[in-house]
Amino acid sequence: MRKSGIALLGLIALTAAAAWVLTAPAAPVPEARIAALTPDARHGEQVFLAGGCASCHLAPGATVEGPPILSGGQAFPSDFGTFIAPNISNDPVAGIGVWSARELANAMLHGVSPEGRHYYPAFPYASYARTSLRDVVDLRAYLATLPASSQPSGAHQLGFPFTLRRGIGIWKLLYLNPDWVVDGPLTPEETRGRYLVEGLGHCGECHTPRTPLGGMERSHWLGGAPSPDGKGRTPNLTPGQLKWSAPEIVEYLTTGFTPDYDTAGGHMAAVVANFAELPDADRAAVAAYLKKVPAVAPAPAVP
């Protein structure tokens, strides 16, 4: 009996040790890969727009008039608690002013802080994981040109067990998959659209339904989902459900007007404002990609 107890304790210890290793933050991006790239802040502004950084990290109610001040503070309710967007301005204490390009890459590609802690996936690194290092380096250069704000980041409003960040390592094992959702032969234009939609634009974060653990259901990619604010649903963007033509999609991403002369509202208004600043070819690429994604049947009506 005593030997059985010792064996059981050993098995528990071994299982705990394995879980600790498996849930550890990913190894950092090699410095040599970053050092080989020359930063281009001008291109970094395009990355910033495509990534929608200001949409989440401006102060609540703030508008972009001049260089954006990324002081954070917006609240994002979820089934797991309320997440507060942090200060990512150039302030060296309250913001990310002392971050290197490598540290930004670790955050965006692996969801890991400079201190080696897991970030919550409310930060859409499950999508940003597909971002090229070239774009991360350029984005870091652009962020360094923006104003600093000394506003401290607010604390997330979470209950136990979601306060235990180590558990996010399990979530990453399940859902942090940098592989492309739409694979197979694509034209250069469709490939660029895939990069913008699946990666920087992180469209799936709102337009794809989630599992009970909060991971995106890749089998229902862009099939529509409950709105993050709890009001209604985001639309199904797949062929057969989104009935707009490619030129109509481009027009929407340029002006915010739908084919029915409605206008973008809510968070989509900010998305359109960002995409309108990108090259025409990028909006056309998004439209081309949306015509290639697998069709997803509409969600059943709620009784």
Instruction: Give me the pLDDT at residue 299, please.
Output: 66
**pLDDT above 90: residue 158:** no
Instruction: Give me the pLDDT at residue 187, please.
Output: 96
Instruction: Give me the pLDDT at residue 219, please.
Output: 94
What are the φ/ψ torsions at residue 216 (nearest 5 degrees)? -70, 135
Q: In which band, very low, low, confident or very high, does the pLDDT at 83 lie, cut at 50, 70 and 90? A: very high
**pLDDT above 80: residue 199:** yes
- Is the entire prediction scored with pTM above 0.85? yes
DSSP string, 10-60: HHHHHHHHHHHHHTSPPPPPPHHHHHTS---HHHHHHHHHHHTHHHHHSPT
Question: How are the residues of the chain apportioned to helix, strand and coil, as percentages rounded to the nearest 5?
Answer: 40, 5, 50
What are the φ/ψ torsions at residue 257 (nearest 5 degrees)? -90, 135
Q: What is the pLDDT of residues 207-226, one digit of tens each?
A: 999 999 899 999 999 999 98
The Cα–Cα gap between 84 and 79 comes to 14
Instruction: Give me the pLDDT at residue 18, please.
Output: 46
Highest mean pLDDT: which of 123-137, 159-173, 235-249? 123-137
Q: First CA to last CA across the chain, in angstroms?
A: 56
Peptide bond between residue 209 and the one before it cis (omega within 30 degrees of 0): no
Return the DSSP state at 216: B
Instruction: Give me the pLDDT at residue 20, please.
Output: 47
The Cα–Cα gap between 228 and 267 comes to 10
Q: What is the pLDDT of residues 1-56, one digit of tens each?
A: 555 555 544 544 444 454 545 566 766 888 999 999 999 999 999 999 999 999 99
117 three-state secondary structure: coil
The Cα–Cα gap between 39 and 145 comes to 12
Q: In which band, very low, low, confident or very high, does the pLDDT at 254 lie, cut at 50, 70 and 90? A: very high
278 three-state secondary structure: coil
Tokens of 21: 């290793």
**pLDDT above 70: residue 72:** yes
Q: In which band, very low, low, confident or very high, does the pLDDT at 166 lie, cut at 50, 70 and 90? A: confident
Q: Domains of the chain by range and CATH?
A: 23-175 (no CATH), 188-290 (1.10.760)
Helix H or strand E encompassing 139? helix 133-143
Short-list 55, 142, 136, CA closest to 90? 142
Q: What is the pLDDT of residues 108-153, one digit of tens each?
A: 999 999 999 999 999 999 999 999 999 999 999 999 999 999 999 9
* Dihedral, CA of residue 218, residue 220, residue 221 and residue 226, to nearest 10: -110
